[in-house]
Amino acid sequence: MSFLTEPSSCYKESFLEGLHEFQKEGRLLQYDAQRIAENFEQFLQKELAQRNPGRTMPGRVPQVDFWLIDNHEYIGLLSVRLVLNDFLLRIGGNIGYQIRPSRRRRGYGKEILRLGLQKARELGVPRALVTCDENNIGSKKVIEYNGGKFENAIDVVGSPVKKLRYWIDLC
């Protein structure tokens, strides 16, 4: 049975394995995997500090990160953004999620978003914007399965791919 949890040292090795998978496909390159492995507790502290409005970096909004765990294994990451700035309102949304490459196409996308919508509701988000690239058919299906109502497709500067925007009422 899978569940969402705050980032935890209990899943350090599995998280690092997942991080390497993401980085092999060119994602999450902003993370220094070696540095995280060497000082995992500091990494966790930074992850948990993101929810505090006074500790967010300029241009960023408070967010709460969760890890999807199944059978003691890190499956993916979900972020709930508590407010939206102009960029997030246009392109990023309230909820972002990623499933590690070796665990895709197993239903985890549907599950992580379903559980993430529950967390967003608990955190006081009344209506969630969830977005995906127009060519990401898997994410489009996951969002629609979880009640996403299509609003529009937005041109993204510098990208030939539009961003699809969906709203999900949480009240």
pLDDT, tens digit, for every residue of 82-97? 999 999 999 999 999 9
CATH number for the domain including 122? 3.40.630.30
- Asked if residue 54 has pLDDT above 80, the reply is no
Confidence of residue 57 (pLDDT cuts 50, 70, 90): low
Q: What is the pLDDT of residue 56?
A: 62
pLDDT mean across residues, the chain = 95
SS3 83: coil
Domain that holds residue 165: 3-169
Please provide the DSSP assignment of 124-150 as one string: T-SEEEEEEETT-HHHHHHHHHTT-EE
Q: What is the pLDDT of residue 171?
A: 85
Q: How far apart are CA 165 and CA 167, in angstroms?
A: 7
**Residue 14: CA count within 13 A, CB half-sphere:** 20
* Nearby residues of 26 by Cβ (< 8 Å), 6 or more positions away: none
SS3 102: helix
Q: How far apart are CA 100 and CA 31, in angstroms?
A: 15
pLDDT, tens digit, for every residue of 88-124? 999 999 999 999 999 999 999 999 999 999 999 999 9
Q: Which residue has the tokens 């999900």?
A: 168
pLDDT, tens digit, for every residue of 124-156? 999 999 999 999 999 999 999 999 999 999 999
Average pLDDT of 63-79? Answer: 97
- Asked if residue 53 has pLDDT above 70, the reply is no
CB atoms within 10 A of CB 128: 24
Q: Is 24 left (phi over 0), alpha (psi -120 to 50) or beta?
A: alpha
Average pLDDT of 72-84? Answer: 96
Give the total number of structural domains in the chain: 1
69, containing H or E segment: strand 63-70
Q: pTM of the full predicted structure?
A: 0.93
